[in-house]
Amino acid sequence: MLNTLRLFRFVWILATASACVLWRPTAGSVPEDIAAQAAVLEAQNKDLQATELGDIPKILDILASNTKFGGHLNVNGKLDPSALNVYVLAPKLKQRDGVPAVFFTANVFGNCAYTGVSNAIICDSDFVFSFLQDHGINGNWSDRSGWTFQDAFLAWILGHELGHAAKGDPAAHFGQENVLTRPTDAAIELSQKLETEADLYAARQIETDKKLATVLENLLIRLMNWEIEKKNGKSAAYGVGLNWDYADKSVVKYFTDQNHPEYVIRATRILTALAADMHEDGLQALLESFSRHLSPKKEKKD
């Protein structure tokens, strides 16, 4: 009996050891989910996390209210696989000495990403704070007086990532750089489809708070106007709404061959959904006309 037990233990150890050898990732090609798991592990380190969270917990409550994550939210806490786990990294972390290398491997910097493992989302607070500033909109991150543009932007990002998590999508990033290692047309097409779905999911969740949805609409119009002006110069058509002069036949060119549609496209889609759901006929008509004049442009490959 004892011998049988010993033999069994030996075989078990042997099997475990060989499994470890088989599963050990080779240097230079760390599989994505292993990098994601390691990043989630590191993100639980309090020293690497942001302490200022703005309205993030309040916004997450609204976004998750009617989902399986309603009441199961974990922000910067110990990983709870049954909850939506959101990790917000400390400001200026990327520039710090000794920052975990896996944060670079898993593309968490300059981004907000659904990791694809353990319902975990990792957000670089530098990205969250600076995106609006980089797009001509100033705002205070810690301003708690009603919903701000910063809040609406957070709701968009987090609602988008929640959409990926709720659907069980593969790992996905909000931003557009360095996401696919080997972009193929099929991969880009699938990625754009998932991104659009995640954006529309965000819109529907945000609509559960009418005031927040209205602030997001205003923010998206501001962002689109900023993009239009950047690409087409100042328009003759000023006023409320999109500063886009269709009489002049100006078009807004956008890239079609990236895995994430450019922001102007994403903003148009999400705003169209909001305008339809909130029965804003004027805005809907304007967006329909605007969408027809968007023109695809292929990215130059070198």
Site of interaction with Zn ion (CB under 5 A): 172, 195, 198
What are the DSSP calls for 23-88, one per residue? Answer: HPPPTT---HHHHHHHHHHHHT-GGGB-S--TTHHHHHHHHHTTSTTTT-EEESSS--TTSEEEEE
Closest approach of Cβ 236 to Zn ion, in Å? 35
Max CA pair span of the chain: 91
Query: Which of 51, 52, 69, 49 has the alpha carbon at shortest distance from 61?
Result: 69
3-class SS string, 152-191: HHHHHHHHHHHHHHHHCCCCEECCCCCCCCCCCHHHHHHH
Choose between 177 and 248: whose C-beta lies nearer to Zn ion. 177
Name the residue number minimizing CB distance to Zn ion: 172
d(CA 79, CA 44): 7
Instruction: Give the other-Cβ count within 10 Å of 203's Cβ.
Output: 25
Closest approach of Cβ 161 to Zn ion, in Å? 7
3-state secondary structure of 95: helix
Closest approach of Cβ 298 to Zn ion, in Å? 22
What does DSSP assign to residue 235? -
Closest approach of Cβ 8 to Zn ion, in Å? 48
Report the first-to-last Cα separation within the chain, whole angstroms.
Answer: 69
Closest approach of Cβ 167 to Zn ion, in Å? 11
Choose between 111 and 225: whose C-beta lies nearer to Zn ion. 111
Q: Which residue has the tokens 């945000």?
A: 206
Closest approach of Cβ 206 to Zn ion, in Å? 15
